[in-house]
Amino acid sequence: MSEKQKVAVLGFGAMGSGIAQVCAQAGHEVVVLDTSNEQVEAGRERIEDFLNEGVRREKTTEEDRDATLSRVRGTTEVGELAGVGVVIEAAVEDLAVKKELLSAVAEAVGEGAILATNTSALSVTELAASVPNPSRFAGLHFFNPAPLMPLVEVVAAEQSADETLDTLEAFAEGIGKQPVRTKDRPGFLVNRLLMPYLNQVARAYDEGLASAADMDAALRLGLGYPMGGLELLDLVGLDVHVHATSAAYEQTREPSLAPPPILGRMVHAGYLGRKTGKGFYEYGKEGS
């Protein structure tokens, strides 16, 4: 896929805007679908803010920023997606919502388009079943923030054709990412490794292994991790992690994927991490 295709991104949220930006920066024309004009505006602003910050830090030129923005168009009309070669779904992590959306979009884009989902916790196979000709469907899982994180997981659903996976790998490389291929299992590769570790860290803290600061210092200094496990949980959001790991546990019954009780208690107490000003640590201002 060397010539630049018209790409559709479904959902103009944090991930959707990041993915749209990455594709546009690589030269693709991108149309982003969302449910309201407000969402479309908000999404576009996210890209603008990110690129402006890039200009400020001299990572991006003003010309590149303008060129990127000129390639991104937002819409609330499914019909505008006709002729798109690649669709990347990045809507809310809700199976019913995604299925309905994919079904509608599949009809609009035609049988030739490759359909990919950015889902992190749902079954790519189940989502593939919601579109006709599911052999052209696979997972294309980006990491947050998409413009900065080089890895993309290319996930093979039961129905995915090798050709689809090859095409998505080439597409990912074309937009400057490093793809790794994996099977449709909860957590794929990265989160499948991360979730049990985060569960273990939270449980160990609850059991008094060490103070939060000491535990995180040990992980940073002893293992060279960019941040400790408790810091990371606060950053990701305890509720987000619990949701993902619970879903994975439901599907696999793998004990290490079960969230330890402390996380449920903290979520009930409203201690979700940075976004509520308190998690395992306290934060000066909400969200900082």
Partner 1 sequence: MLGAGTMGSGIAITVARAGHEVIMRDVSEERVQGGLDSVRRFLGKSVERGKLSEERRDRAVEGLSGVTELEALESCDVVIEAIFEDEGLKAETFGKLDGVCGPETLFHTNTSTLSVTGIASGSEHPERVVGTHYCNPAPLMDLVEVARGRLTSDEAHEKTLEFVEGLGKKAVLTKDTPGFIVNYFLIPFENDCIRLLETGMGTVESIDKAVTLGLGYPMGTFTLLDIVGLDIHKAVATALYERLRDPRFAPPPLVDDMISAGHLGRKSGKGFYEYEAAGMMGT
Please report, as residue ranges, which positions from 139 to 168 form the binding site for partner 1 (by CB under 8 A): 143, 149-151, 153
Binding mask 106-145 for partner 1 (x = CB under 8 A): -------------------------------------x--
* Close Cβ partners of 26 (under 8 Å, ≥ 6 residues apart): 4, 174, 175, 176
Residue 201 Cβ, how far from partner 1 at the closest point, in Å? 7
How many other β-carbons are positioned within 10 Å of the β-carbon of residue 212?
17
Tell me: does residue 197 bind partner 1 (CB under 8 A): yes
Which residue, 138 or 201, has its beta carbon nearer to partner 1? 201
Residue 147 Cβ, how far from partner 1 at the closest point, in Å? 14
Tell me: does residue 201 bind partner 1 (CB under 8 A): yes
Stretch of 39-47, 61-69, 167-175, 220-228 lying at the interface with partner 1 (CB under 8 A): 220-228
The angle, 0 to 180 degrees and rounded to 10, between the axes of the packed helices 238-252 and 261-268 is 140
Catalytic residue ranges: 120, 141, 153, 191
Tell me: does residue 204 bind partner 1 (CB under 8 A): yes
Tell me: does residue 255 bind partner 1 (CB under 8 A): yes
Order across the sheet with 86-89: list the strands: 72-75, 29-33, 6-10, 86-89, 114-117, 137-141, 151-156, 178-183
Tell me: does residue 190 bind partner 1 (CB under 8 A): yes
285, with CB counted inside 10 A (0-12, 13-18, 19+), is exposed
- Select from 221, 235, 250, 282 the one that contacts partner 1 (CB under 8 A): 221
Interface ranges with partner 1 (CB under 8 A): 143, 149-151, 153, 178, 180-183, 185, 188-190, 192-194, 196-197, 200-201, 204, 208-211, 214-215, 217-219, 221-226, 229, 255-256
